């Protein structure tokens, strides 16, 4: 594309976005305007969430940019899933190290747009800025039912704790010493499947729900403490990620529960009497639901392993640490 005489690199990139991204042709205002305009469905509430992926912390310099762009969108879509939301739009801000070539930014934008469209949303705007470090900041907008939002503080004593999918996938692909440096493992760690269909199925039954982006133990602790209750998780019921189960004995899997995140499954609390209905609803959309514990009166999180109750290992992740974890 020939450059205009007075056009900056940023303006050329914006013009490329408008011409090449299918989402640019959706919405009440075109991509590149000062704001985006959305028409909410009748009786829907707006769901808003924001996330950032930073080079060196969440992805590496040679990770595929299209995968990074898709991951940036999917981490925010996972938060919408935890409220039973239907995605509507994505705002996507790119902070770009000037030393990075335009093709990296374009590939990341394509990945973000594809992830948004796959979820039924549109990439409707954002921002671009020069930065000392490359980062992607994503805001997702969705619609939810104001009567059914499953706040993380909504758990009740006696509720079952249930999880979608499997546990330990994120930690296995990101930190397993036998795989962490392989390109295939790094690509797998950026492959995030937000549980949107499962979230919409579960929200009809759940008192509380959140995603497990920071790990099962951290999610259980947040749900329990926000609800003013204690969580008990039974180790024998945890649906381990199959490669993790095959490679590590049960005694060594706790790091996947307590130390590492990246699963992006849903953890919910619901009445025991409704588990059968919830399980059927999740299976009807192609998902999997497993009861792994319960909420009781008290504080903290316990792991029950062959009848022995012990404190649940907690994550060592701190987003304000001075050095990246890898």
Q: Is the pTM of this model over 0.85?
A: yes
> How confident is the prediction for the chain on average, in pLDDT?
87
**Closest Cα to residue 83, out of 191, 211, 269?**
211
**Closest Cα to residue 309, out of 208, 230, 222?**
230
302: left (phi over 0), alpha (psi -120 to 50) or beta: beta
Q: What is the pLDDT of residue 34?
A: 76
Q: Which of 21-35, 160-174, 192-206 has the highest mean pLDDT?
A: 192-206
- Give the span between the Cα atoms of 276 and 187, in whole angstroms: 36
Residue 250 contacts residue 304 (beta carbons within 8 Å): no
% pLDDT > 90, the chain? 61
pLDDT of 187-205, one tens digit each? 778 999 999 999 999 999 9
Which residues are CB-contacts of 66 (< 8 A; sequence separation ≥ 6)?
A: 107, 108, 110, 111, 114
**Closest Cα to residue 82, out of 157, 180, 152?**
152
Helix and strand numbers (H, E) in the chain are 10, 11
Q: What is the pLDDT of residue 79?
A: 98
Which residues are CB-contacts of 181 (< 8 A; sequence separation ≥ 6)?
A: none
Q: What is the pLDDT of residue 259?
A: 64
> 244 pLDDT exceeds 80?
yes
Between 205 and 24, where is the model more confident?
A: 205
- Give the span between the Cα atoms of 113 and 20, in whole angstroms: 10
What domains, with CATH codes, occur in the chain?
A: 9-145 (3.30.1330.10), 160-311 (3.90.650.10)
Residue 90 contacts residue 122 (beta carbons within 8 Å): yes
Q: How many angstroms from the chain centroid is the CA of residue 68?
A: 13
């Amino acid at each position: 594309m020939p450059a205009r005489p007075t056009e900056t690199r940023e303006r050329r990139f914006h013009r490329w976005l408008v011409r090449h991204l299918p989402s640019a042709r959706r919405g009440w205002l075109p991509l590149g305007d000062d704001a985006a305009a959305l028409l909410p469905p009748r009786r829907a509430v707006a769901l808003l969430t924001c996330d950032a992926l930073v080079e060196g912390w969440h992805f590496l310099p040679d990770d595929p940019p299209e995968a990074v762009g898709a991951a940036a969108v999917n981490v925010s879509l996972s938060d919408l899933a935890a409220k039973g939301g239907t995605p509507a739009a994505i705002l996507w801000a790119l902070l770009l190290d000037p030393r990075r070539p335009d093709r990296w930014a374009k590939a990341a934008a394509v990945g973000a747009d594809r992830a948004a469209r796959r979820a039924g949303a549109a990439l409707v705007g954002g921002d671009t800025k020069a930065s000392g470090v490359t980062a992607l900041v994503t805001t997702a907008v969705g619609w939810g039912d104001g009567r059914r939002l499953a706040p993380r503080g909504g758990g009740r004593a006696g509720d079952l704790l249930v999880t979608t999918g499997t546990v330990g996938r994120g930690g296995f692909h990101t930190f397993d010493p036998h795989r962490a440096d392989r390109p295939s493992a790094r690509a797998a760690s950026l492959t995030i499947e937000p549980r949107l269909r499962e979230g919409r199925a579960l929200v009809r039954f759940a008192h509380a729900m959140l995603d497990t982006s920071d790990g099962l133990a951290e999610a259980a602790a947040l749900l329990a403490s926000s609800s003013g209750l204690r969580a008990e998780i039974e180790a024998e019921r945890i649906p381990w990620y199959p490669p993790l189960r095959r490679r590590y004995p049960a005694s060594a899997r706790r790091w996947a529960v307590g130390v590492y995140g990246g699963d992006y499954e849903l953890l919910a609390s619901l009445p025991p009497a409704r588990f059968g209905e919830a399980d059927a609803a999740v299976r009807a959309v192609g998902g999997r639901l497993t009861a792994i514990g319960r909420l009781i009166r008290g504080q903290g999180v316990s792991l029950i392993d062959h009848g022995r109750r012990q404190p649940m290992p907690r994550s060592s992740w701190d987003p304000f640490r001075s050095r990246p974890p890898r």
